[in-house]
Homo-oligomer: A and B are copies of this chain.
Amino acid sequence: MTKKDIIVLQDLLLSNAQAAAAIRAELEGRGILAVNLMSSPGAGKTTLLERIADRLRGRLKIAVIEGDIETERDAERIRAKGVPAWQITTGGACHLEAKMVGKILPLVPPDTAILFIENVGNLVCPASYDLGERLRLVLLSTPEGDDKPKKYPKAFTTAQALVLTKADLLSVLPFDVAKVKAEALDLNPRLEIFITSAVTGEGLDDLLAYLGRAGEEVRRRA
């Protein structure tokens, strides 16, 4: 990168940080927990949200912002669960930015407890963009392999929680859970780690309890 490119990038990130701070202030003022989900394509972000929608139905209101390069597919899957969902198609951009999220905020129902923001499937770029979330979850699916945290460190150092997905495939894959845990904690000692499967339901109650506690804290402070 040239000096000019670096200055433009710094401008972009500064402007994003300002927009993100405004979003965080608004959402927390309204008592809404915002959760940014990041992962590679196909790690299971939308499927996890479908399972969460099923388990929270009638207990807690959620809403979902879906980020994708193209298609409304993910928002349609979430709406089919009776959950409000808005699709942002970036048209090529590899991550969501705070301003895109800001445009959706007026549409989020006042009684929403948790606003999930599913980022573009990309384990690299989304990690650099604060979207005004309180919690950042990085998902890693077992088929991706147990060497990923140190190869893609920023997603793991900036997240509050790591959700290992597709644990039901552990019996047929060479994936060392203890190795991934150790590597992720070496990068980020405060990381919470959940081992989950959307097929068997493993780990989902623990993850929901964690999100529930974070949501209560936001509402208490609002």
Show the binding face of A for B, using Cβ within 8 Å.
4-5, 8, 12, 40-42, 68-71, 73, 92, 94, 120-125, 128, 141, 143-145, 147-148, 150-154, 166, 169, 172
* A8-B4, A143-B166, A169-B169 known; A121+B69 contact, CB < 8 A: no
- Bound together, the chains give a CA A96 to CA B82 distance in angstroms of 41
Min CB gap A10→B, angstroms: 12
* A40-B42, A143-B141 known; A122+B120 contact, CB < 8 A: no
The chain B residue sitting closest to A12, CB to CB, is B5
Min CB gap A156→B, angstroms: 11
CB neighbours of A152 from chain B (8 A): 41, 69-70, 121
- Bound together, the chains give a CA A122 to CA B172 distance in angstroms of 25
- Bound together, the chains give a CA A92 to CA B150 distance in angstroms of 12
| Contact across chains for A121 and B121 when beta carbons are under 8 A apart | no
Partner of A73, one of B41, B123, B128, B147: B147
CB neighbours of A123 from chain B (8 A): 40-41, 121-122
CB neighbours of A153 from chain B (8 A): 69-70
CB neighbours of A68 from chain B (8 A): 151
- Bound together, the chains give a CA A145 to CA B141 distance in angstroms of 12
CB neighbours of A41 from chain B (8 A): 40, 123, 144-145, 148, 151-152
CB neighbours of A73 from chain B (8 A): 147, 150-151
Which 4 A-B pairs have CB atoms at the shortest separation, nearest pair first?
A: A42-B144, A143-B143, A94-B124, A40-B40
- Bound together, the chains give a CA A81 to CA B22 distance in angstroms of 52
Partner of A92, one of B8, B70, B145, B154: B154
CB neighbours of A70 from chain B (8 A): 150-153
- Bound together, the chains give a CA A69 to CA B148 distance in angstroms of 11
The chain B residue sitting closest to A127, CB to CB, is B92
CB neighbours of A145 from chain B (8 A): 41-42
CB neighbours of A122 from chain B (8 A): 94, 122-125
- Bound together, the chains give a CA A154 to CA B92 distance in angstroms of 8
- Bound together, the chains give a CA A120 to CA B152 distance in angstroms of 10
With most chain B CB atoms within 10 A of its CB, the pick from A5, A12, A124, A154 is: A124
